[in-house]
Amino acid sequence: MRRSDPNRVTLAQLQRRSSRTSEDVDEGATPTLRDLAEALSFSPDDGRIWLGDQRMVLWRSSTFGSLRAELIARLGQEQARSLLTRVGYAAGARDAELVRRTWPDSDPVNAFHAGPQMHKLGGIVRPEAIAFEFDIARGSFHAEFWWHDSSEDDEHIAAFGIGTEPACWMQTGYASGYASAFMGKFIVYREIECRATGAGACRLVGRPADEWEDPELDQHYFAPELSAAGIRRSLAEPAIAASARSRSLAPAARSEQQSALVGISSSFSAARHLIERVAPTPATVLFSGPSGAGKELFAQTLHAISPRAAAPFVAVNCAAIPDTLIEAELFGVERGAFTGASSSRAGRFERAQGGTLFLDEIASLSFFAQGKLLRALQERRIERVGGSREIAVDVRVVAATNVDLRTEVRAGRFREDLFFRLNVFPIALPPLKERRDDIPLLMEAFLRRYGEQYGRRVAGFTPRAVQALLQYDFPGNVRELQNLIERGVIMAGPDEPIDVVHLFRGGEMGAPHGLSPGPDGRLTEQVAGVASRAPRTQVGEPDAELYRDALVAARYNVSAAARALGLTRAQMSYRLGRLGLI
């Protein structure tokens, strides 16, 4: 094979790369093990661990062993193996997606080699390459690895002793999922030797599924519902999209992505479940939560999934309307009712007929307006200002507040009877800092939205920017995150990832602190986010002094300087070129 072909890698090339450490890999050969380690961050204050934008969990190996033993006892070995293989497959496919998104310009051999390195970083197994060759364009693939010190084997042997079957089920699924996502076709790894059968180390071989003589031996663990005939048909079809296979394990996540609401955190899911429960009914709903938490978006979604979806959704910001005009805005005006009322005009209740009326910042209404609203809710009838007849209205009222209405009632600023009329079905929305698992999904959603809106091609986020956003407290909640991403899309150059200097330019934050593995493997405190000084260049331009200092500190090693700033070598070269530093 020719070295000039970036999609083809020989064993000799792999061995030359594998024999080097992360300190002396070829320039541009990202992600290295150090790159992966630097993408791992610990946030002790809120009890979360992140690898890039993926939340991680630190488990005792024995805890996983107990779970595995319980699955085998309850389900039987074949069912337990199938379940763990498919879970591993989904994890591998997601890690491949993370590598492609975080290091989009990495060369193919390092992008693929990141999978085994992530297993090594996670303490799961110590991989050693035996043979490796692939051609993405042609779909050819062959890989062979030694796996040393498998934690999965350790736990299986501790529980069941030495047996006759290989036991690295989840790890085999992971390797298959990672390679399948990497190649764009279904790759199956098979464990040829295993410590659980008495071997000194585990040996895995990976090939396209249709190149194994008896693929059904492995296939039914990945897709147990397939018959032998169905397996043969699937192997004759075009390449399997691995990402679609991994998404099939989470149908709920797909439904979330199809909605305007984006999130997977427990508090988000609880709120989403509540609006789904109340949507078919005409009950009044009261949303509470801090400003910017998405109360109006939840109200719009509630309306959209209700039987009233075909009728109007009318929103009123009660805080933006003067007390003297709120009655006219809500209930309408008859001609001549007051000076300037030259014609009759329907109010918001009438305009929302058959649909939903959303009253935002309901606590800002005056006592007089609260009394008028209470009567309308009780009687389901309104009377225009200056009118002499009552008008029947069929409107579902949804209210929102960013203050505690019970406190307002005790303080005498809100009517108790109106509170109980509104509080039929309360739904509390938490601040964004209490639903950090949703931040990566929101980042991607806003990046797509503003990239399309402004016609910008932005290459995702740097690892440093991801860490900064995951550790930031977001006093402005989802609205602030939305603003930061919009700013980042505007500031970043063509095909350049969004970095911290593009996001935090308005004094929004003190630098968030977290923990990351240092060169010696110990966790050290780091500032994940704001550069130590503000850019001194024009808007949209990188800080020349920042990049010059990094280059000097790295003795003009571009790759080392890039790692120090949380960038890939290609990103660093691009910025140095723009600044005239190379």
Q: First vs last Cα of the chain: how many Å apart?
A: 33
User: How does DSSP classify residue 472?
Assistant: -
What number of helices (H) and strands (E) belong to the chain? 25, 17
Output the CA angle 456-566-549, nearest 5 degrees.
Answer: 105
Residue 299 has phi, psi (to 5 degrees) of -65, -40
Query: Whole domain around residue 465: which residue ranges?
Result: 437-579
Residue with the two structure tokens 């986020």:
461
Our count of domains for the chain comes to 3
Q: Is residue 559 part of a domain?
A: yes
- Asked if 515 and 526 count as a contact pair (C-beta separation under 8 A), the reply is yes
Same domain, yes or no: 420 and 444: no
For residue 10, being part of any structural domain is answered with no
Q: Are 389 and 352 in contact (CB under 8 A)?
A: no
474, 570: one domain: yes
Q: Give the dihedral sign, CA 136/141/145/150.
A: positive
Q: How far is CA 395 from CA 2, 55, 197, 226, 348, in A?
A: 71, 42, 69, 50, 10
Q: Is residue 31 part of a domain?
A: no
Which tokens in the block code for residue 98?
A: 């993370």
Is the same domain home to 374 and 504? no
8/108 Cα distance (integer angstroms) = 8
How far is it, in rounded angstroms, from Cα 133 to Cα 205?
Answer: 12
272 and 242 assigned to the same domain: no
Instruction: Give the residue from 432, 463, 487 where a domain finishes.
Output: 432
Each residue's pLDDT, cut to its tens digit, for the chain (582 residues) gives 333 344 444 444 444 433 333 333 344 456 777 777 777 877 776 777 888 777 888 888 889 899 999 999 988 898 899 999 999 999 898 888 888 877 776 777 777 878 888 877 788 888 888 888 888 888 889 999 999 989 999 999 989 999 899 999 999 999 999 999 888 889 999 999 999 999 989 999 999 988 888 877 777 788 765 433 433 444 343 333 333 333 333 333 334 434 578 888 888 889 999 999 999 999 999 999 999 999 999 999 999 999 999 999 999 999 888 887 888 888 888 875 666 666 778 889 999 999 999 999 999 998 888 998 998 999 888 888 777 788 899 999 999 999 999 999 999 999 999 999 999 999 999 999 888 889 988 999 999 999 999 998 888 888 888 888 888 889 999 999 999 999 999 988 887 888 888 888 766 655 455 666 665 566 666 554 433 333 334 434 456 777 777 777 777 777 778 777 777 777 777 778 777 776
State the pTM of this model. Answer: 0.64
> What contacts 62, CB < 8 A, 6 or more positions away?
155
CATH, residue 513: 1.10.8.60
Could you tell me if 312 and 412 lie in one domain? yes
Boundary-marking domain end, from 249, 284, 313: 249
Instruction: Give me the amino acid identity at 318.
Output: C
**Looking at the structure, do residues 277 and 397 belong to the same domain, yes or no?**
yes
Same domain, yes or no: 224 and 122: yes
The residue among 68, 60, 69 whose CA lies nearest residue 85 is 68
Contact 347, 312 (CB under 8 A): no
Last residue within a domain, chosen from 204, 222, 249 = 249
Determine what percent of the chain falls in helix, strand and coil, rounding each to the nearest 5: 50, 15, 35
